[in-house]
């Protein structure tokens, strides 16, 4: 009885049969599937004996291609005869591959003697019959059991050649014989010497490790340091591949990826050798060559976007949600240069876009994308990387096909652009949530749409100009938008996401084929889980009252001030700096993290705090005679020792050199406030010390500086001095899988906001109309100010403090929300546009509410007594395996300040020491006080909760209340061990507390009921 063949040889035969259609001894299927050959990929089966190990070429296939395509060159070089001239040519070709890489040689060919020899024919454009015929002359071949070395008998399972040049090697494993892709990787790392000609850098495009469940690849073999990246489709928003009812989980590799058209597309448009320039410890610049190959999600995303773009035409929006560290810069570069060549569906000779503009707010990525795109020789002459506004202006006017710029440069030249309304643009926006500001976007749309105001048009009325501004705010009809982000905010989802209707609900999200989740990236090992080793630090301190008087002060403000004071006190900074340095020295360097090359980032709450840390860390490093140094990073100048200093003054080298210096000894610490917490990719960063409140997108972006993978990087570590743990978990959960907005913004809320603003009578409709007409008519500034100043006087004289807070908050909310809604609504509203213009002028003139600070002087009345910090147990945060559903933001923002709660300074100092001191809670009375007095007051003052009460139903208000309660618990219960444990671990207690506080605060303001403890 015949048994199923479960051997590795069967697996090898199955792939070859699929690629060639040729029956294999282990896998024939000659009669079982008559359509099998028709579905094969058109490969030729190579013979192992045809491989020339001295030049790493399949010489018969190479000569066959040259004879079929360039017989004159074959004759001129006398390649048909096996002699010295053929040998010289083969060695010339082998040398060029060594120098330039196989991809460049395939694309550009080689010159030898009197002739230039092409080694490959490009993919044809649709409808180009002659090009299709030329492409069909390429010989794609696959060879089994190829012996690659003259010095050993080792064989590769498979090698794929194009026209005799090797491009991919394969080691196959079979789980039924108890071997997996991991064994294939070990085989490459230990028995495939990088010195062998076939395995030298650039000789092949990639080396593939494959089993029946997973695929991984390596672009450059380096022995045990060889780094294999995943090439899997993903499953359930995570790693791996989906079940395949029609075969093996990995058969997409030979059925989809290795087919001739797709592999050719990868060779022509993705694979390349990128040159990177770095500086060594002696300041010498050197270039390194890095082979690049797309991962599956990158290939899928670009191909899906090209297909959608061609089918949709111009004027569409696409949201790409790709995890931080997932290779967005390469994905953007690959998409940009292929969009340039995209033709319309109606006319294969007509370009879909006149220009592709890549807009990023990260200068490092700006350069990286530029370098990647420029590596494609066929677009180099149509590419422009603008280092200045003048260059950007020139590129746009000359019609450069690809322009890379930063969002900071773009607005400066928009007012000067001519009419570009007849042009079609593709706008690729990196980190769309930060690059898509309302005013900048409106100016960009106005310029690119050709809608710039004509100063010579004397017939244009103020109303005409208002209508033109309304149109300028809308998404352009002559541009397609491609928004890339790892952390989509609600407005990004609604602006760029795909709108879906599920039952009676509207959802906005990134389509599945354009989503690469944090979950998948972590599970695949492409990025590291930065919250897997997260350790909070409890701070214990005691402060003393230093005056005899016992004044009444605002309790909440006083507590905040005292905590801020002790956390920034020299004692605290010094102690925390010592903890950081000692931990890094013993636990990171001592443990040889990243092979002893690990770096650390210290994230501080403001520039002055960063300078304090830099001073204390530097002093302590000298004191303990450490060989290491710290770098500080901040923008502009700050006062240090009575003089204005820049980061360059403190570091002793230029700001632009910070990334390179951090890679070199003696620099091991990078101390930052805001700079480098986003968009900074340094795989050597292993540890982060956080002394700054983090939540939401900022938490994800900041901690994700650690997630970049490195061949020697197995983990990361976060030491948190700022009690961020719960907020960090909530933030990462929102972007762990797909982020989906449920519901959409109600534009009628703008009507409500406008009515509330009008009702406070700070301005009249006539004043709004007059100012807008004067502004759009180009009137002098002194015509505008009298109108605004009259409104400011009304605001000061007629509104009380609470009403001033409400008016200013709602005015800001109106301007912000109108900028957003104007881009997506199909209609315009002149009244909204006018009020937006008016408020943009009025808001900066409105003084801050005259609020009496009832905690003034509290810091002069206290002194630091003692401080210590203590690590808590490391936390392994685990995410819920579910998509995150978020609601659109409520347009209203306003809220009152509420009455201050007064208390004696002595009580506040005691309470502070009680709340934050080293006390074990066994006193029910104290816990009752916190629950009945502290928590409800704080929750009631939470802005998001106030917004929800004012503008949403009770259900949404409860959701915001629960979020506010979590935040308050973090703020107030740092060291209330019993209470915090009950809240964190006891679902019944948490449910009771949430219900009690909600009942006490929801639109009632009543006293809290007495808890039963």
pLDDT given at position 19: 95
Greater confidence, 957 or 384? Answer: 957
Residue 869 or 754, more confident:
754
Q: What is the mean pLDDT of residues 677-692?
A: 90
pLDDT at 281: 58
Per-residue pLDDT reduced to its tens digit, 654-674: 998 999 999 999 999 999 998
Show the DSSP H helices in 194-277 as ranges: 252, 260-269
At residue 878, the pLDDT reads 73
Q: How many Cβ atoms are within 10 Å of 738's Cβ, its own excluded? A: 19
- Start-to-end Cα distance in the chain: 75
Q: What is the CA radius of gyration of the chain?
A: 33
Mean pLDDT of 93-98: 96
Helices 830-845 and 801-824 cross at an angle (nearest 10°) of: 140
Instruction: Considering only residues 502 and 311, tell me which one the structure prediction assigns the higher pLDDT.
Output: 311
Report which of 99, 113, 772, 759 is spatially closest to residue 466, judged by C-alpha positions.
Answer: 772
C-alpha span between 670 and 101 (Å, rounded):
36
In this predicted structure, what is the pLDDT of residue 924?
A: 55
Q: pLDDT tens digits, residue range 522-571?
A: 899 888 999 888 888 766 556 666 666 666 666 666 666 666 666 666 77
DSSP code, position 881: S
Say what the pLDDT of residue 456 is. 40
Q: In this predicted model, what pLDDT tens digit does every residue of 271-298 receive, in sequence order?
A: 988 777 666 656 667 778 889 999 999 9
Task: Please report the pLDDT score of residue 920 as a whole number.
Answer: 46
Q: Which residue has the higher pLDDT, 443 or 627?
A: 627
DSSP one-letter code for 534: E
Stretch among 128-142, 238-252, 570-584, 606-620 having the lowest mean pLDDT = 570-584
Indicate the average pLDDT of the chain.
82
Cα–Cα distance measured from residue 756 to residue 750, given in angstroms and rounded to the nearest whole number: 10
Within a 10 A sphere around the Cβ of 191, how many other Cβ atoms?
10
pTM above 0.75, yes or no: yes
pLDDT of residue 293: 95
Percent of the chain topping pLDDT 70: 75
Identify the pLDDT of residue 912: 54
| Cis bond before residue 666 (omega within 30° of 0) | yes
At residue 31, the pLDDT reads 42
Count of CB atoms situated within 10 Å of the CB of 796: 14
**Any idea which of 166-180, 584-598, 976-990 has the lowest mean pLDDT?**
976-990
Report how far residue 323's alpha carbon sits from residue 39's, in angstroms, rounded to the nearest whole number. Answer: 36
**pLDDT tens across 309-335, in order?**
999 999 899 999 998 778 888 899 899
User: Is 675 strand, coil or helix?
Assistant: coil
442 vs 76, more confident? 76
Query: Lowest mean pLDDT: which of 374-378, 736-740, 796-800?
Result: 374-378
Please give the Cα distance from 168 to 253 (Å, whole number).
Answer: 12
- pLDDT above 90 for 133: yes
424 φψ region: left (φ > 0), alpha (ψ -120 to 50), beta (else): beta
**For residue 723, what are its two tokens?**
């009690």
- pLDDT above 70 (res 438): no
The percentage of the chain sitting over the pLDDT mark of 90, rounded to a whole number, equals 42
The whole-angstrom separation of Cα 614 and Cα 658 is 15
Check if the beta carbon of residue 745 is closer than 8 Å to that of residue 891. Answer: yes
Judge whether 750 and 814 are in contact, CB under 8 Å: yes
Helix axes 555-568, 570-583, angle to 10 degrees: 50
**Is pLDDT of 26 > 50?**
yes
Instruction: Dig out the tokens for 307 from the structure.
Output: 């297909």
CA triple 972-546-641, angle to 5 deg: 85
What's the maximum distance between 2 C-alpha atoms anywhere in the chain?
Answer: 107
Average pLDDT over residues 743-759: 88
- Banded pLDDT at 36 (limits 50, 70, 90): very low
- Strongest mean pLDDT among 581-595, 729-743, 822-836: 581-595
Rounded mean pLDDT, 119-141: 93
Rounded CA-CA distance 621/668 in Å is 11
Average of pLDDT values for 833-839?
A: 92
Q: Tell me how far apart the alpha carbons of residues 989 and 982 are, in angstroms, rounded to a whole number.
A: 6
- Whether 294-516 shares its CATH topology with 528-760+799-905 is answered yes
- Please name the fold of domain 294-516: Rossmann fold (3.40.50)
Q: Looking at residue 918, what is its pLDDT?
A: 41
- Cα(147)–Cα(208) distance, integer angstroms: 17
pLDDT above 80 (res 909): no
Measured CA angle at 516 (ends 512, 521), to 5 deg: 145
C-beta of residue 265 within 8 angstroms of C-beta of residue 123: yes
**Rounded to an integer, what distance in angstroms lies between the CA atom of residue 623 and that of residue 257?**
58
* 866 or 636, greater pLDDT: 636
448 contacts 420 by C-beta, under 8 angstroms:
yes
Whether 529 and 706 have beta carbons less than 8 Å apart is answered as no
Mean pLDDT of 407-424: 56
Query: Buried b / exposed e across 878-905, counting CB within 10 Å, b at 16+?
Result: ebeeebbebbbbbbbbbbeeeebeebeb
Q: What is the DSSP string of 469-533?
A: HHHHHSPPTTEEEEEEESS--HHHHHHHSEEEEETTEEEEE--GGGEE-HHHHHHTTSB--TTSS
User: What six digits make up the tokens of 189?
Assistant: 């790392």
Residue 388 has, within 13 A of its CA and on its CB side, a CA count of 3
pLDDT, residue 900, reads 59
Q: What's the pLDDT band for 435 if we cut at 50, 70, 90?
A: very low
Each residue's pLDDT tens digit, 763-774: 999 999 999 999
**More confidently predicted of 105 and 934:** 105
Residue ranges covered by each domain of the chain: 8-228+244-269, 294-516, 528-760+799-905, 919-1013
Q: E strands of 831-964, at which residues?
A: 862-871, 884-886, 902-904
Measuring CA to CA, how many Å separate 670 from each of 84, 277, 280, 582, 661?
59, 21, 18, 16, 10
* H helix or E strand, kind and range, residue 414: helix 411-414
773: number of Cβ within 10 Å: 16
- Is the pLDDT at 390 greater than 80? The verdict is no
Q: CA neighbours within 13 Å on the CB side: how many for 691?
A: 29
- CA–CA separation, 402 vs 417, rounded Å? 17
**CATH T-level fold of 528-760+799-905:** Rossmann fold (3.40.50)
pLDDT over 70 (residue 361): no
Tell the burial category of 430 from Cβ atoms under 10 Å away from its Cβ (0-12, 13-18, 19+).
Answer: buried
Range in 10-19, 236-245, 941-950 with the lowest mean pLDDT: 941-950
The answer to whether 658 and 633 have CB atoms below 8 angstroms apart is: yes
């Amino acid at each position: 009885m015949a048994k199923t063949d479960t051997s590795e040889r069967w697996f090898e035969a199955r792939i070859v049969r699929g690629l060639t259609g040729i029956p294999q001894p282990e896998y024939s299927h000659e009669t079982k599937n008559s359509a099998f050959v028709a579905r094969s990929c058109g490969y030729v089966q190579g013979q192992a004996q045809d491989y020339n190990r001295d030049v790493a070429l399949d010489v018969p296939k190479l000569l066959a291609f040259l004879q079929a395509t360039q017989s004159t060159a074959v004759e001129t070089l006398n390649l048909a005869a096996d002699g010295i001239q053929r040998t010289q040519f083969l060695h010339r070709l082998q040398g060029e591959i060594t120098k330039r890489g196989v991809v460049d040689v395939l694309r550009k060919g080689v010159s030898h003697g009197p002739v230039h020899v092409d080694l490959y024919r490009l993919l044809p454009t649709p409808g180009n019959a002659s090009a299709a015929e030329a492409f069909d002359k390429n010989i794609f071949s696959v060879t089994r059991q190829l012996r690659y070395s003259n010095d050993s008998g080792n064989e590769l399972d498979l090698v794929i050649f194009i026209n005799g040049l090797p491009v991919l090697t394969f080691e196959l494993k079979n789980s039924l014989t108890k071997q997996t892709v991991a064994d294939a990787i070990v085989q490459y790392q230990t028995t495939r010497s990088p010195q062998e000609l076939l395995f030298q850098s650039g000789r092949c495009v990639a080396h593939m490790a494959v089993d029946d469940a997973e695929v991984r690849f390596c672009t450059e073999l380096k022995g045990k340091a060889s780094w294999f990246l995943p090439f899997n489709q993903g499953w359930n928003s995570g790693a791996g591949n989906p079940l395949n009812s029609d075969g093996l989980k990995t058969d997409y590799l030979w059925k989809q990826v290795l087919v001739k058209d797709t592999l050719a597309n990868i060779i022509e448009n993705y694979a390349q050798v990128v040159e990177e320039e770095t500086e060594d410890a002696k300041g010498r610049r050197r270039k390194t060559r890095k082979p690049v190959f797309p991962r599956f999600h990158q290939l899928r995303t670009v191909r899906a976007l090209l297909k959608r773009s061609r089918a949709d035409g111009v004027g569409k929006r696409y949201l790409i949600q790709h995890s931080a560290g997932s290779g967005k810069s390469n994905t953007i570069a690959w998409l940009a240069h292929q969009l340039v060549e995209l033709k319309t569906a109606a006319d294969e000779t007509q370009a879909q876009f006149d220009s592709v503009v890549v807009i990023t707010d990260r200068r490092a990525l700006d350069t990286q994308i530029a370098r990647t795109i420029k590596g494609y020789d066929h677009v180099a002459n149509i590419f422009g990387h603008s280092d200045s506004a003048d260059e950007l202006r020139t590129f746009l006017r000359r019609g450069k096909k690809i322009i890379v710029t930063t969002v900071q440069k773009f607005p400066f030249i928009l007012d000067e652009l001519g009419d570009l309304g007849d042009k079609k643009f593709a706008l690729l926006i990196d980190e769309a949530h930060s690059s898509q500001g309302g005013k900048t976007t409106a100016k960009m749309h106005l310029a690119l749409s050709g809608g710039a105001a004509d100063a010579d048009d004397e017939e244009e009325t103020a109303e005409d100009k208002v209508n033109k501004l309304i149109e300028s705010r809308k998404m352009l009809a002559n541009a397609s938008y491609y928004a890339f982000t790892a952390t989509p905010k609600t407005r990004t989802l609604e602006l760029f996401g795909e709108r879906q209707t599920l039952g009676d609900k509207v959802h906005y999200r990134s389509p599945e084929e354009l989503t690469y989740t944090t979950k998948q990236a972590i599970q695949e090992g492409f990025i590291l889980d930065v919250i897997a080793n997260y350790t909070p630090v409890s701070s214990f301190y005691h402060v003393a009252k230093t005056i005899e008087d016992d004044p009444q002060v605002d309790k909440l403000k006083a507590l905040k001030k005292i905590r801020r004071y002790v956390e920034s006190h020299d004692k605290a900074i010094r102690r925390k700096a010592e903890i950081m340095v000692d931990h890094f020295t013993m636990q990171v360097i001592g443990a040889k993290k990243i092979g002893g090359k690990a770096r650390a980032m210290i994230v501080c709450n403001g520039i002055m705090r960063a300078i304090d840390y830099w001073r204390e860390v530097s002093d302590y490093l000298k004191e303990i005679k450490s060989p290491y140094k710290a770098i500080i990073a901040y923008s502009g100048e700050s006062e240090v020792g009575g003089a204005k200093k820049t980061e360059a003054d403190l570091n002793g080298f230029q700001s632009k050199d910070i990334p390179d210096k951090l890679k070199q000894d003696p620099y091991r610490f990078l101390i930052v406030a805001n700079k480098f917490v986003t968009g900074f990719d340094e795989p050597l960063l292993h540890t982060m010390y956080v002394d700054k409140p983090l939540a939401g997108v900022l938490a994800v972006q900041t901690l994700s500086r650690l997630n970049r993978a490195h061949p020697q990087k197995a983990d990361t570590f976060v030491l948190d001095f700022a009690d961020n743990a719960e907020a960090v978990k909530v933030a990462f959960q929102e972007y762990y899988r797909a982020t989906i907005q449920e519901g959409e913004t109600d534009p009628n809320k703008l009507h409500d906001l406008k009515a509330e603003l009008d009702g406070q009578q700070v301005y009249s409709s006539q004043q709004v109309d007059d100012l807008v007409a004067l502004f759009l008519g180009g009137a002098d500034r002194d015509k505008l100010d009298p109108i605004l100043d009259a409104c400011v006087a009304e605001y000061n004289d007629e509104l009380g403090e609470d009403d001033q807070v409400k008016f200013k908050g709602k005015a800001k909310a109106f301007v912000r929300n109108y900028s957003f809604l104007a881009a997506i609504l199909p209609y315009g509203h002149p009244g909204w546009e006018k009020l937006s213009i008016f408020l943009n002028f009025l808001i900066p003139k409105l003084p801050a509410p005259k609020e009496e600070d009832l905690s003034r002087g509290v810091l002069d009345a206290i002194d630091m007594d003692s401080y210590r910090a203590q690590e808590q147990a490391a936390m392994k945060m685990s995410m819920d395996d579910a998509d995150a559903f978020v609601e659109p933001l409520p347009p209203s923002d306003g809220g009152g300040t509420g009455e201050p709660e007064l208390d004696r300074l002595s009580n506040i100092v005691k309470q502070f020491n009680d709340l934050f001191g080293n006390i074990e809670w066994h006193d029910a009375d104290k816990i009752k006080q916190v629950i009945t007095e502290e928590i409800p007051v704080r929750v009631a003052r939470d802005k998001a909760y106030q917004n929800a009460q004012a503008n949403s139903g009770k259900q949404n208000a409860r959701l915001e209340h629960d979020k506010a309660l979590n935040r308050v618990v973090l703020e107030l219960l740092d060291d209330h061990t019993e209470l915090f444990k009950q809240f964190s671990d006891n679902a019944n207690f948490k449910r009771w507390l949430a219900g009690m506080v909600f009942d006490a605060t929801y639109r009632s303001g009543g006293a809290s009921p007495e808890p039963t403890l």
